[in-house]
Amino acid sequence: MSGLSETERAGFTKILNLMTNSDLLSLSDTVTNKMIVVENMAEATETILSFTKNAEELLRRKKVHRDVIFKYLAKEGVAMPPSSEKHQLVRRTLELWASVKAADGQSIQGESDQSRLQQTTEASSDSTDMSAGVGFDPLVLGQQFCQWFFQLLNSQNLSLGQPPQDWGPHHFWPDVKLRLLSRAGSEQMEEFLGAELVSLRLLALTREERLLFSPNLEPHGLRALASPHGLVLVAVAGTIHRDAACLGIFELIFGLIRSPLENNSWKIKFVNLKIRGQDALGGTEVTAPALSYNSSELQLLCS
């Protein structure tokens, strides 16, 4: 009988799916001391999960490569510096699983991230006037929103080999505006208006350009504040990757407003995205970028 919790099993299933077939078969041999011959990858996965007594021990095995764990965390919306060593990635994965287990027995597969996001924000504030909502914490909303958003956007990157989640214009207000400022060599400014165009332009970043966004959800990489009129601003910094390469950093500001017609779920009113390529950074270290916006600059956007 496996010693893994449901959360750990679900996480390991995703990690094992990212491994090469030869590594997976070799891992199955190691875990079972070659006592069980498996016929296919599905059997190998099931055998590894059944014979593993301890999550940390399995994560530390040689065949579970550092890059596989890094990719798994990125898919789960967990930002790690590209230079992280394997033991740091292992520790962060175990923390992630422990936090899911602790989350009030919430089922890991059961509900969609969107409904989880909705419930947390509804729990934070029953009134639509968020500034008056007792105990409403914009930062909690900001963290949950960023985890949901980047997991959704990154899933559209087909090089990750995972099924794309439900991306589309329905996550945005009809009059949403996107400002995209990119500095890689020369400076380029693009503006898009309307849910359809904004949704397609952001989708192109991950699907066509194969970018992967890794947000820094630590305190210096994330800020959030609420205006008295119901607008919540979430600003986040992070790194941008393609395959194994770190291409640069990004800063993203979302304006979020509840939609009373759709169960009070949050929808995106505007997006300001700044991207700086490595060459525009002048060789500075980009492991966990901090936001350059301060609170007063964000206040101006609120007004």
* Maximum mean pLDDT: which of 149-153, 275-279, 297-301: 149-153
Answer with the residue of higher pLDDT: 246 or 297: 246
User: Tokens in use for 4?
Assistant: 């893994």
Each residue of 78-95: pLDDT tens digit? 878 878 889 999 999 998
Asked if residue 270 lies in contact with residue 212, where contact means CB atoms within 8 angstroms, the answer is no
Alpha-carbon dihedral angle through residues 142, 143, 144, 149, given to the nearest 10 degrees: 80
d(CA 232, CA 225): 6
User: Tokens in use for 186?
Assistant: 């020369």
Residue 297 CA to chain centroid, in angstroms? 25
Q: What is the pLDDT of residue 104?
A: 39
For the chain, which residues make up each domain, given as ranges?
Answer: 6-102, 113-302
Q: What does DSSP assign to residue 270? A: E
- For 147, what's the count of Cα atoms within 13 Å in the CB-facing half-sphere? 17
CATH of 113-302, one of 3.20.20.300, 3.40.50.300, 3.90.1150.10, 3.10.450.50: 3.10.450.50
Coil/strand/helix, residue 61: coil
Asked if residue 279 lies in contact with residue 185, where contact means CB atoms within 8 angstroms, the answer is yes
Provide the whole-model pTM: 0.55
